[in-house]
Amino acid sequence: MKTPDDLRQLATQSLLAHFADLCEGAVIVDAQANVVWMNDRYPERLHIADPAAAIGQAIENVIPNSLMRQVVDSGRPIMLDIMDFGDESFVVTRLPLRDEHGKVIGAVGFMLYDDPRHLAPVVSRYQRLRSDLAEAERKLAEARQTKYTFSSFIGVAAASNEVKQAARRAARTASAVLILGETGTGKELLAQAIHAASPRAKRAFVAVNLAAVPENLLEAEFFGVAPGAFTGAERRGRDGKFKLADGGTLFLDEIGDMPLALQAKLLRTLQEKEFEAVGSNRLQTVDVRVIAATSRNLEQMVAGGSFRADLYYRLNVITLNTPPLRARLDDFPLLAEHLVDQICRQQGIPVHGVAPAAVERLRRHDWPGNVRELSNVLERALLMSDGDVLEAGDLDRVMPVAMVPPALAIVGGGMAEAVAQAEREAILVALRNCHGNKAQAARTLGISRAALYEKIAVLGVQANAA
């Protein structure tokens, strides 16, 4: 039975013999780069008239452009090369030969093809792969660029102008920015606009929604994973968001949802500008501008111990407060027109106008979901509308009816009378939209039919006036 060493030696000899038989030619040189052997095909391919005379000569005397001496001197192979000989070119490979102690004692060269055009399929595939890789990298770079600028923040109200002016000032600095505001007020839009107007605009903008990433994966998401860090990890490792954003901006959305354990590691990275990937003990430096955003009250979280005070102060260098829609009543005409135009183009329907009564109808709502809710309402209304102009009635079909006008005057009976008046208006609108059908109106209002009858009686609503 043969030992593993015997099998290895046999495989080496067999491989050399097979290569010599299959390729266009083979040559062996000694430690002084003198020719010691050629197979029968090599002299024929190189038009060497007397092969025996080549034995013992320096390889350059036989093949002037040979690099076999370089392989012998360096001990490094030349896996693929094109060798010129006279008017012809050959595809060759050159390998060092070593003794049992690892000392280079010569080299072997194989002429793989007698015409470089044999490599055309391989070269073509390689070039195609390189092209595909370049295209993928280009698309990834485009995906890392911002889509919004300050012109994307639609509004002329005082609150809108104030936050845009403050954001433009922030764009000129490299300091951390904390954006506070209710959901749907455009915090990420503002973050992208700051990046697009900053000196880092040509570098990556990387966004992480902390509320959307499982807690046990957040550290890897931020700092990456070293090759083979754990079972199932990628062999080449994976870069984290800090590495991807190096030189650019990292946007941390919903920062208030970050676990306490990770807050300490984030603080160190922001202070020292260095981090370790998961499973690695090698520090990596990084240059990242951080913009954080949240709809939560971080000061209360700090007081309650659920958010680190030192991290809060590190992030809260420049603070921006995005105003809610109810504080931007003057923006509704422009904002509604912009969103309607955008929705129509996305849906492939004719562009609609917005009637003044529809704008006024929008202004009367409290908009807890802000611009995101406004866009949803407008899209639903547009898809149900048959006219070329969006009317107040189109909005009534998709909007809640129990709403209090922002400028409702409180007279006479004070707050109780104001609430009663709002309920009367809501009931009248519901009855009008439902053509007097009380059961359907009750469902629209979200109350029982008995409750509707009771309110009609108590509030003195003239049902037939609907």
CA distance 285 to 282: 10
What is the tens place of the pLDDT at every residue in 433-454?
A: 777 788 777 777 767 776 777 7
CA distance 206 to 422: 46
Task: Name the nearest CA neighbour of 352 among 387, 377, 384, 376.
Answer: 387
Q: What is the pLDDT of residue 334?
A: 94
**Across all residues in the chain, what is the average pLDDT?**
84
Which DSSP letter does residue 233 get? -
Amino acid 439 reads: A
Q: What is the pLDDT of residue 404?
A: 45
CB 222 within 8 A of CB 241: yes
Which domains, from first to last, does the chain contain?
15-119 (3.30.450.20), 150-321 (3.40.50.300), 331-363+371-396 (1.10.8.60), 415-465 (1.10.10)
CA distances from 276 to 216, 221, 260, 269 (A): 17, 12, 18, 9
Predicted structure pTM score: 0.61
CA distance 108 to 97: 7
Q: What is the pLDDT of residue 271?
A: 92
Q: What is the pLDDT of residue 428?
A: 83
Q: If DSSP codes are grouped into helix, strand and coil, which group holds residue 270?
A: helix
CB 203 within 8 A of CB 248: yes
CB 267 within 8 A of CB 259: no
Tell me the DSSP string of 29-43: EETT-BEEEE-THHH
Task: Name the nearest CA neighbour of 106 among 35, 165, 188.
Answer: 35
Higher pLDDT, 227 or 160: 160
Residues 6+ apart with CB under 8 A from 133: none
Paired strand residues for 92: 81, 111
Paired strand residues for 353: 389
Tell me the DSSP string of 129-140: HHHHHHHHHHHH
Amino acid 387 reads: G
What is the tens place of the pLDDT at every residue in 205-220?
A: 999 999 888 888 888 8
Q: How many residues does the chain have?
A: 466
CA distances from 230 to 109, 241, 278 (A): 43, 19, 9
| Dihedrals phi, psi of 384, to nearest 5 degrees | -100, 0
CB 153 within 8 A of CB 322: no
Alpha carbon of residue 87 to chain centroid: 53
Task: Name the nearest CA neighbour of 154 among 361, 320, 325.
Answer: 325
What is the tens place of the pLDDT at every residue in 112-167?
A: 776 666 666 765 665 677 677 777 666 666 656 788 999 999 999 999 999 999 99
Q: What is the pLDDT of residue 128?
A: 73
What is the tens place of the pLDDT at every residue in 14-27?
A: 666 666 666 778 89
To which residue do tokens 């911002």 refer? 146
pLDDT at 356 over 70: yes
CB 375 within 8 A of CB 346: no
What is the tens place of the pLDDT at every residue in 376-425?
A: 999 999 998 888 999 988 998 888 764 444 444 444 445 556 667 777 88
Residue 411: Cβ-neighbour burial (10 angstroms; 0-12, 13-18, 19+): exposed
CA distances from 50 to 111, 262, 373 (A): 19, 76, 90
Alpha carbon of residue 105 to chain centroid: 54
